[in-house]
A and B are shown apart, each in its own frame.
Chain A
């Protein structure tokens, strides 16, 4: 596998063929906001927060799915990028009903942290106030559509790690919804193993444990790496 050289923010970096710009950014400890990205899951470029500028390409590209190339010149920080990132976060807040004060993950929320990161003092757009459903049919967990940012982490972890594929997407544009089973109540989906992986990887308060109340739900995403490393090392195989 050949080694490629590129520059990110005028710093010379190296990477292996097949790696993404985001891989190199992480390896070099460069700060870049992400939301749908989670180590261990297939990147899907759903949130567009990791957009970067690449010299010679007129449009912005998502760092998580763009493969590095020899001589690539990447910029992760500019006035234009900062504007777009802040706009994306504001639009996420405007689209869902994100009332932090009454949310189970208040204080531990990745969307909140992104707000601080991009300097979101307020939302300049009109809030949409769509009426979303809450699905509390599962014995252990709740799905609150109003907090969902459609990052699809739950879908990917259930499919790629747990192997149950309980979750999926339906609809288009603003009507996209994360659904369980064939758009059935979560509690009636027999494939659900109640493992809770989807709950733990959810960056916001869309998926939470029934016992959690405001500001109580701290999520543990480190389990994913432990599981994947364990499988790789076959530590559970007799």
Chain B
């Protein structure tokens, strides 16, 4: 039997969940014996736009998706990843709830853009109009489950390496990860 194909994706998040993934430490060697990491934010060939970065996202068995859905590119990437994944896991609190990126929802999108690009900018004060380089913000930051079907949720900010290992082990063994405080925590 071939190796299980795993991909990881980074949307609107701080990459803390990927850092926590690296905290698997020597368990990564164990993982490498049974699974192949087909795609990740650091292994991908970087093209010019965030979306193209994922256009060659491979067909995988399991995708771990980090981050909330904050802009139009995130929506496209997420839908593409969903299409090409047998199992999609919401990886960390941003993907599960929106978490810290969703604080932006307290304000109007235009006010946020004005504040960042005009009011508080010291050089080149202008709101980017080139939507290829700076994707358009959605009106509301949303969890990934509000855009695509999610098979499993792995909360935590970030999820601990033990939580990540528990989920991956369950999925590799064909078992349902059990949601409980013992395995996961919010925040």
Contacts and interface: CB of A to CB of B under 8 A. Distances in A.
Contacts of B103: 97, 99
Contacts of A222: none
Interface string B90-106: 10010011111011011
Nearest to A121: B153
A116 interface: yes
Contacts of B145: 122, 124
Interface string A156-173: 000000000000000000
A123 B142 CA distance: 11
Interface in A107-129: 107, 112-113, 115-116, 119, 121-124, 126-127, 129
B contact patch SS: mixed
A106 interface: yes
A146 to B, nearest CB: 9
A122 B100 contact: no
A106 B152 CA distance: 23
Contacts of A107: 185, 187
Nearest to B140: A129
A122 B96 contact: yes
A123 B180 CA distance: 16
Interface string A121-158: 11110110101000000000000000000000000000
Interface of A is mostly: loop
Nearest to B187: A100
A127 B98 contact: yes
A216 B16 CA distance: 21
Contacts of B150: 122
Given A107-B185, A131-B106, A100 B96 contact: no
A101 interface: yes
B181 A97 contact: no
B102 A101 contact: no
A103 interface: yes
A112 B143 contact: no
Contacts of B155: 121
Contact of A101 (B90, B146, B157): B157
A101 B105 contact: no
A122 B95 CA distance: 10
A227 to B, nearest CB: 30
B179 interface: yes
B187 A123 contact: no
B162 to A, nearest CB: 16
Contacts of A102: 100
Nearest to B101: A99
Nearest 3 pairs of A and B residues by beta carbon: A100-B187, A101-B157, A116-B181
Interface of B: 90, 93, 96-100, 102-103, 105-106, 140, 142-143, 145-146, 150, 152-153, 155, 157, 179-181, 185-187
27 contacts: A97-B103, A97-B106, A99-B99, A100-B93, A100-B97, A100-B157, A100-B186, A100-B187, A101-B187, A102-B100, A107-B185, A107-B187, A112-B187, A116-B185, A119-B179, A121-B96, A121-B152, A122-B97, A122-B150, A123-B97, A123-B143, A127-B98, A127-B102, A127-B140, A129-B102, A129-B105, A131-B106
Given A119-B179, A122-B145, 20 more contacts: A93-B97, A99-B99, A100-B93, A100-B97, A100-B187, A101-B93, A106-B186, A106-B187, A112-B186, A113-B181, A116-B181, A122-B90, A122-B153, A123-B97, A123-B143, A124-B145, A126-B146, A127-B105, A127-B140, A129-B102
